[in-house]
Amino acid sequence: MAVCKLPRISVCSGVSGMNFYLEFEKPIAELQRKLEELRLDADGGGVRVSIGDEINRIEKKLEATRREVFSNLTAIQRVQLARHPQRPFALDYLQTVFHGFSELCGDRLFADDQAMIGGFARLGSERVMVVGTQKGRDTKEKIRRNFGSAHPDGYRKAKRLMKLAAKFGLPIISIIDTAGAYPGIGAEERHIAEAIAVNLREMMLLEVPIIALIIGEGGSGGALGIGVADQVLILENAYYSVISPEGCASILWKDRSATPKAAEALKITAANLLSLELVDQVVPEPLGGAHQDLATISGEIRRALLGTLSELRQNSAAQLMEKRYQKFRSIGWFLEATVAEADQSEAEKPGVEA
Q: Report how far residue 304's alpha carbon sits from residue 33's, in angstroms, rounded to the nearest whole number.
A: 36
Tell me the pLDDT tens digit for each residue of 258-282: 999 999 999 999 999 999 999 999 9
User: What's the pLDDT score for residue 180?
Assistant: 92
Assign residue 295 a region (left: φ > 0; alpha: ψ between -120 and 50; beta: otherwise): alpha
User: What's the pLDDT score for residue 351?
Assistant: 58
How is 279-303 classified by DSSP, letter by letter?
SSEEE---TT-GGG-HHHHHHHHHH
Residues in the chain: 354
CA distance between the termini of the chain = 68
Question: What average pLDDT does the structure give for the chain?
Answer: 89
- The phi, psi pair for 180, rounded to 5°, reads 150, 165
Share of the chain above pLDDT 90, in %: 72
Residue 3 has pLDDT above 60, yes or no: no
Residue 7 has pLDDT above 50, yes or no: no
Tell me the pLDDT tens digit for each residue of 166-195: 999 999 999 999 999 999 999 999 999 999
Query: What residues does each domain of the chain span?
Result: 29-72, 79-329
Residue 291 has pLDDT above 80, yes or no: yes
* 223-252 average pLDDT score: 95
Q: What is the DSSP letter of 85?
A: T
241, 179 contact by CB (below 8 A): no
User: What's the pLDDT score for residue 6?
Assistant: 47
User: What's the pLDDT score for residue 14?
Assistant: 42
- Rg of the chain over all Cα atoms, to the nearest angstrom: 23
Residue 15 has pLDDT above 50, yes or no: no
Read off the pTM.
0.86
Tell me the pLDDT tens digit for each residue of 70-106: 988 999 999 999 999 999 999 999 999 999 999 999 9
Tell me the pLDDT tens digit for each residue of 317-327: 999 999 999 99
CATH topology of domain 79-329: 2-enoyl-CoA Hydratase; Chain A, domain 1 (3.90.226)
Q: How confident is the model at residue 338 (pLDDT cuts 50, 70, 90)?
A: confident
The mean-pLDDT minimum among 11-25, 123-137, 295-309 falls in: 11-25
Q: Report how far residue 191's alpha carbon sits from residue 203's, in angstroms, rounded to the nearest whole number.
A: 18
User: What's the pLDDT score for residue 354?
Assistant: 45
- The phi, psi pair for 132, rounded to 5°, reads -175, 165
User: What's the pLDDT score for residue 9?
Assistant: 44
Higher model confidence: residue 14 or residue 223?
A: 223
- Grouping H, G, I as helix, E, B as strand and the rest as coil, residue 123 is strand
Tell me the pLDDT tens digit for each residue of 27-78: 888 888 888 888 777 665 554 556 777 788 888 888 898 899 998 899 999 9
